[in-house]
Amino acid sequence: MKPHVYVACKIPDETESYLAKHVQYRKWEGPGAIPYEVLLEELAEADGLLTSGNKIGLELLSRAPKLKAVSTMSVGYNHFDLDAMKERGIIGTHTPNVLDDTVADLILALMLAVCRRVPELDTYVKQGQWKKGDNDVLFGLDMHHKKLGIIGMGRIGEAVAQRAHFGFGMDIVYHNRHRKPDAEHKFGAKYAEMNDLLHEADFVVLMTPLTPQTRHLFGRNEFAQMKPTGIFINASRGPVVDEEALTEALQQGQIFGAGLDVFEREPVQPDHTLLQLQNVVTLPHIGSATAQTRNDMAMLAAENLVSALLGADPQNVVPELRK
Ligand SMILES: NC(=O)c1ccc[n+]([C@@H]2O[C@H](COP(=O)([O-])OP(=O)(O)OC[C@H]3O[C@@H](n4cnc5c(N)ncnc54)[C@H](O)[C@@H]3O)[C@@H](O)[C@H]2O)c1
Ligand SMILES: O=C(O)[C@H](O)CO
């Protein structure tokens, strides 16, 4: 008998064909995200779950007595209750590496959009405000040859450093849980304590996972230490930043601007104060969203799940759940 899988997110046809060869599956057809109650009902008979962000906690596990493996189609797995999964012996997998370049490209796009004020100037042209003689009010800041501070020098952090250093001649300073001699060698990156990095950097890119240790890692104290010309980019997870503190820093001119792909509550509401500020560039949590990369992530997530259910060693078990 093939194992039963429930697919709670949208996946490409190619991934469905792969799944069909190895497992029996049912899937959420939409519209929108699967309601939690529907997911609980569907999991009553499932051996495996393919998801892209459903909270995997005690309640869900208690309603899924046969569940052996959960595969998330994301590299971040802050939606996994790791203690509860460990207790139940659930195999939890994620999709590292395949999205690094795509997410790093988007981070560079955010950096450029903020320092050269791209969305603001786009609106200016489209609204017919371009008059001869307007000049210095439109000026931005340079990115090339400036100093980039990366907090969380992991897979994506390194892909950002590589682009910034070799493409834009930027000096790299980083803060991480552990030193990364390899990054120091490849990009001349210098390790710094967080406070020193904040004082020195022209751009600060936050790229840690969301964990109990990183929740609100960035607050008033951190923004107060950045340069008034500093640019802050968050494409990690919203709750790593205290949004009230970020809003104040932007309103009071403590920093020049911010680029955000993630928010404390998603989807962010259109009346959120941050969205009213001209020096903020926002995106709808879209870092890995190109057709190619999303296909690769879906296939990797499906392969991880199939391996876990068929008793082979899945490649990408999250570190905290490895035996
Ligand atoms: N916006 C998006 O669409 C998008 C896409 C992919 C990933 N992400 C987020 O980016 C995160 C990073 O992805 P990755 O593949 O580079 O992960 P990774 O594990 O390779 O890198 C994370 C780095 O952060 C460091 N770190 C952890 N806690 C820290 C702390 N308290 N202080 C300093 N450094 C700390 C780790 O040592 C590691 O080097 C993911 O967990 C996910 O939340 C967002
Ligand atoms: O963690 C990830 O892979 C991205 O945020 C997409 O969810």
CB-hemisphere CA count at 13 Å for 265? 8
Residue 207 Cβ inside 6 Å of ligand 1? The answer reads yes
Residue 293 Cβ inside 6 Å of ligand 2? The answer reads no
Tell me whether 0.90 is exceeded by the ipTM.
yes
Instruction: Detail the DSSP E strand segments found in the chain.
Output: 4-7, 24-27, 48-51, 69-72, 91-93, 147-151, 171-175, 190-191, 203-206, 231-234, 257-260, 280-282
Q: Nearest C-alpha to atom 4 of ligand 2 is from which residue?
A: 74
Atom nearest to 158 CA in ligand 1: 16
Task: Let me know the angle formed at the C-alpha of 276 by 275 and 282, rounded to the nearest 5 degrees.
Answer: 30
Measured from the alpha carbon of residue 156, the closest ligand is: 1
Q: Give the active site residues.
A: 237, 266, 285
Q: Nearest C-alpha to atom 7 of ligand 2 is from which residue?
A: 74
Structure tokens that stand for 152 in this block: 């969380």
What is the widest separation between alpha-carbon atoms in the chain? 75
Q: What domains are there in the chain, each with its CATH number?
A: 4-96+291-321 (3.40.50.720), 100-282 (3.40.50.720)
Select from 231, 235, 217, 229 the least CA-distant residue to 282: 235
How far does the centroid of ligand 2 lie from the alpha carbon of residue 75, in Å? 5
Per-residue pLDDT of the chain (323 residues; tens, 9 = 90+): 999 999 999 999 999 999 999 999 999 998 999 999 999 999 999 999 999 999 999 999 999 999 999 999 999 999 999 999 999 999 999 999 999 999 999 999 999 999 999 999 999 999 999 877 778 889 999 999 999 999 999 999 999 999 999 999 999 999 999 999 999 999 999 999 999 999 999 999 999 999 999 999 999 999 999 999 999 999 999 999 999 999 999 999 999 999 999 999 999 999 999 999 999 999 999 999 999 999 999 999 999 999 999 988 888 999 999 98
pTM confidence score: 0.98
At 96 the three-state DSSP class reads coil
Judged on CB neighbours under 10 Å (0-12, 13-18, 19+), 144 is exposed
How far does the centroid of ligand 2 lie from the alpha carbon of residue 235, in Å? 9
